[in-house]
Amino acid sequence: MALKRVVVTGLGALTPIGSTVQEFRESLFNGDSGAVPITRFDTSLFKTKFACELRNYDAGNYFDRKEARKMDPYCQYAIISADEAILDSGLDLEKIDKDRVGVIMSSGIGGMGTFEDEIANFAKGDGTPRFNPFFVPKMISDIASGQISIKYGLRGPNYCTVAACASSTVSLINAFDHIRLGRADIMVAGGSEAPVTTGGLAGFNALHALSTRNDDYKTASRPFDLDRDGFVMGEGGGALILEDYDHAVKRGAKIYCELVGGGLSADAHHLTAPHPEGLGAALVMSNALFDAGIQPEDIDYINVHGTSTPLGDIVEPLAILSVFKEHAYKLSISSTKSMHGHLLGAAGAVEALACILAINDSRIPPTINHFTDDPQIDSKLDFTFLKAKDREVRYALSNTFGFGGHNATVIFKKMDA
């Protein structure tokens, strides 16, 4: 059986640097930082007091009060980004076969805030287990996919993938496979995360993973800079409509680009640290290139994992050099986490959007907040520091790496005329 071609026909975003795809696009190429002091709880006792929070988010702008109370914020973010992607795709939901439309919206953590609130309320009580009946349905990571399918009556494949910070990239790969193998015509795929909670902040502080640059939070996310001191946590969601190419053409859909390959690998090394030689990172990129049937020299742009952590930012360039050899110096590279922060399980979906916008705008988003080169990182690589750069992008590759050594890579291709 010949594999079907898979294209992207809709985009949705709810991010710290833009509450729609258009807002995200403008901030992305302008090099805006989404880092702000945390406002939703008291951070006076925390080492880190800032994050990339959503701008002026109010659930009441999207849901009625009763509806919102049944959903953890991570689920709200997933639905909002999926709504925009479905609207953007121009799908006529009355004319498509909903048995052939699926949803894979992933989250690395799920309803952390819901879990914290319910346990805190129980601890303050008299020991009687009075839990909200929506506690479990609000908390579990798969419920966003379920809510989207219920809202739109989509009866195709429906689940989530959990692979830490690689979760939503894995969801894109799974959705890609469902379509190219003929199991579905359309998939709503992506991810969301709402980790800006007391537990989220305290947990990552305990791991010494977060930046503590409280006096200069706007420049705290410094991928590849000598003085980087950890990542900046972000929140939000991203969604893509993936569609069988023939199906999209038949209905006259606008097509942003083609998804041509995906790769998976494991570091098999450590719970939280990457392999020091980047073996898993190199393998996942090689696997994605093989899956796409292209050569390393075909890639123009890499949206790197680039979290602004001391070890991770050394290892990923080593892996790129291992895979791309001399072509590595001709690549454009950037870490958009320098702007929107690290959205954990939603990172892959949001950074896939950045790749798609780079292809469609012929422009490379920057890596902002660079001040000092790190002598352990090859300075001849083009990290697109500080300012966006015009460049035709025919193939764009996006890397996401998660705790547990989970690695996932996707490759997008500009549509031929």
Average of per-residue pLDDT across 47-68: 96
What pLDDT does 129 receive?
87
Does the structure show a pLDDT above 80 at 266? yes
Instruction: Give me the number of domains the chain comprises.
Output: 2
- Look at residue 178 in the predicted model and tell me its pLDDT: 98
In-domain check, residue 408: yes
Confidence of residue 43 (pLDDT cuts 50, 70, 90): very high
Is the domain of 238 the same as that of 267? no
Annotated active-site residue 342? The verdict is yes
- Residue 122 belongs to a domain: yes
256 found inside a domain:
no
Co-location of 198 and 171 in the same domain: yes
Q: What is the mean pLDDT of the chain?
A: 97
CATH of residue 343's domain is: 3.40.47.10
Please tell me whether residues 268 and 364 are part of one structural domain.
Answer: yes
Among candidate residues 52, 75, 160, 165, the one labeled active-site is 165
- Whether residue 115 lies inside any domain: the answer is yes
Provide the pLDDT confidence category of residue 194 given band limits of 50, 70 and 90: very high
Q: Could you tell me the pLDDT band of residue 101, with boundaries at 50, 70 and 90?
A: very high
> Are residue 289 and residue 165 in the same domain, yes or no?
no
Local confidence band at 416 (pLDDT 50, 70, 90 cut-offs): confident
Q: What is the mean pLDDT of residues 292-309?
A: 98
**Could you tell me if 90 and 196 lie in one domain?**
yes
Q: Supply 279's token pair.
A: 């073996």
Quick one: pLDDT at residue 127? 85
Which of 250, 274, 294 lies at the terminal end of a domain, its last residue? Answer: 250
Domain that holds residue 38: 6-250
On whether both 239 and 275 belong to a single domain, the answer is: no
Would residue 255 count as lying in a domain?
no
Q: Which of 342, 355, 370, 406 is catalytic?
A: 342
- Taking 80 as the threshold, does the pLDDT of residue 290 lie above it? yes
- The pTM of this model reads 0.97
State yes or no: is 165 an active-site residue.
yes
Q: pLDDT at residue 417 above 80?
A: no
In a domain, 339, yes or no: yes
pLDDT, mean of residues 112-132: 91
Q: What's the rounded mean pLDDT across residues 43-56?
A: 96
Of the residues 200, 226, 250, the one at which a domain ends: 250
Based on the fold, state whether residues 50 and 190 are members of the same structural domain. Answer: yes
pLDDT, tens digit (0-9, with 9 covering 90-100), for 310-353: 999 999 999 999 999 999 999 999 999 999 999 999 999 999 99
Catalytic residue from among 275, 305, 340, 370: 305
98 C-beta neighbours (distance < 10 Å), count: 16
Give residue 125's pLDDT: 86
- What's the DSSP call for residue 98? G
| Residue 147: C-alpha distances to residues 70, 116, 243, 250, 387 (Å) | 11, 22, 21, 29, 39
Is residue 257 in a domain?
no
Query: Does one domain contain both 197 and 267?
Result: no
- Per the domain annotation, does 304 fall within a domain? yes
Could you give the percent of the chain with pLDDT greater than 90? 97
Report the alpha-carbon angle 366-371-373, nearest 5.
95
Are 268 and 186 members of one domain? no
Residues in CB range of 152: below 8 A, 6 or more apart:
86, 93, 98, 101
* pLDDT score of 1: 77
Burial class of residue 227 (count of CB atoms within 10 Å of its CB; 0-12, 13-18, 19+): exposed
Instruction: Answer yes or no: do 289 and 213 share one domain.
Output: no
Of the pLDDT bands very low, low, confident and very high (cuts 50, 70, 90), residue 30 is very high
- Do residues 141 and 173 share a domain? yes
Inter-residue contact 232 to 211 (CB < 8 Å): yes
Pair (28, 162) in one structural domain = yes
Residue 208 designated active-site: no
Q: Return the pLDDT at 237.
A: 98
